[in-house]
Chain A
Amino acid sequence: MTSIENIGKYFLMIAEMFRKPTKWSVMKNLIFKDINDLIIGSLGIVAFISFFVGGVITIQTALNISNPLIPKYLVGFATRQSVILEFAPTFTSIIMAGKVGSFITSSIGTMRVTEQIDALEVMGINSLNYLVFPKTVALMFYPFAIAIGMFLGVLGGMAACVFGGYTTLEDYILGIQTDFEGFHMTYSFIKTFVFAFVLATIPSFHGYYMKGGALEVGKASTTAFVWTSVVIILLNYILTDLLLG
């Protein structure tokens, strides 16, 4: 019953977020601040993880191709497909649910605990629009981070190939160009936009409606991470079935 109530409350929150917008001169600064905190601030970890995971995918694929009849360029092909279709959009989003999601929940939750949200409401400000909308807009730039992740994932694979001696640079480049379908990029970015919305709104929901003190802020962050991850994985399945199935 509580879960159904929460789902309803979540959609009401989203509707309320678009009502009575904050003045643009103020909102603009909030959006820039959130782009800096949520996107620019996450580029380092996205780049680091993407580069090394790309390398690991390449090594594992190369080591599992023992049949001499399978062409070596398939290492590059497999790395590209894994990185573009799944790793960059989905698994980076799970990691971001931990980093960005817990940041959003704890910052909004702390504002709830210290009555800063009440202060906004008493002033006649739509606190959901003021707090959640700029984060949602900022995370619409998340696909740029994912695009960088895709590039670095493939680059990491190439570095592993060349420096680890698993295949030649020519084979790897041939592999990443083989049977390239533009729609796979479209599919990947559609997923990324949906995940970005989830990353902004579910942690905000858990922070905004939390009750209690500092301990509950921590608990809300954990709950937000779990639910954001669950929803991302479920949506990943649904979108994949709809778009590629």
Chain B
Amino acid sequence: MIVVENLHKSFGDVHVLKGISTTFDKGMTNLIIGASGSGKTVFIKCLLGLFQYDEGTISYDGKVFSELSRNERRNLRSEIGMVFQGGALFDSMTILENVMFPLQMFTKMSNSEMEDRADFVLKRVNLPDAHYKMPSEASGGMQKRVAIARGIVNNPKYLFCDEPNSGLDPNTAIVIDNLIQEITDEYQMVTVINSHDMNSVMEIGEKIVFLKNGNKEWEGSKDTIFQTNNDAVTDFVYSSELFKKVRKMYLDENGN
């Protein structure tokens, strides 16, 4: 479990995160949503330790990140998998080498054991035949799957995804969403996804944290988001006519 308490982060005079507190549970897909500029990326980078926060605490299963030594932080990070928005695959390596990379760095496995493990996770993300392609030869959807495979190859406790389905067609986006949810359940990881894709919210939002102007405006799930009367949430989530109709149908069906 990841517990965030009263998190503040500023860049110069700009106060980006204004006292965010929340928890992210194991085995659940936790979504952070909000408009562009709401502080989602800064929040996830603070969680990952890529940005130093000004105030507050972040604890990973009871270990307070800011109290850890440099080496303890690096050890904690070896338990984290991350799927970057653009994939962040190492472009000088093949797809197989990309997936094997965390194993080479953190395990004492033999080469054949690493290949077997990488082969297993590549099959798990439905990429059985792409081992020897370079990342530049793979489509956007394939790159995201490779990034997920690299993220989970080391059996991480925590998986972070920064807009995992941005730039993908709706079908592939749903495939990626479902894959992340299945893997989260299978490996019982704490998964935190940064998204502003409403399909993801409705599909896999087991827990949703809505940020607005650096504040936590609302917290709930894909079920409770239909019933909320919070104007900021409804304006953001149901901004399109389609989603307005979907919400109305849901509320009519459920007698609200």
Contact = CB atoms under 8 A, between A and B. Distances in A.
User: Does chain A bind chain B?
Assistant: yes
25 contacts: A20-B70, A20-B74, A22-B105, A23-B104, A114-B88, A114-B91, A115-B88, A116-B88, A116-B90, A118-B84, A119-B82, A119-B88, A119-B90, A122-B48, A122-B50, A122-B160, A123-B77, A123-B80, A123-B101, A123-B102, A123-B105, A123-B106, A124-B76, A124-B77, A124-B78
Interface residues of B, number: 26
Contact of A122 (B71, B82, B104): B82
Given A116-B90, A122-B82, 14 more contacts: A20-B71, A22-B105, A114-B86, A116-B89, A116-B91, A119-B88, A121-B77, A122-B50, A122-B77, A123-B77, A123-B102, A124-B76, A124-B78, A125-B105
A115 B106 CA distance: 20
B75 interface: yes
Contacts of A115: 84-86, 88
Contacts, number: 58
A66 interface: no
Most chain B Cβ neighbours within 10 Å, of A23, A122, A126: A122
Interface residues of A, number: 17
A198 to B, nearest CB: 25
Interface string A95-120: 00000000000000000001110110
B82 A126 contact: no
Contacts of A116: 88-91
A123 B150 CA distance: 10
Contact of A118 (B50, B78, B91, B104): B50
Interface of B: 48-50, 70-71, 73-78, 80, 82, 84-86, 88-91, 101-102, 104-106, 160
Given A115-B88, A118-B84, A124 B48 contact: no
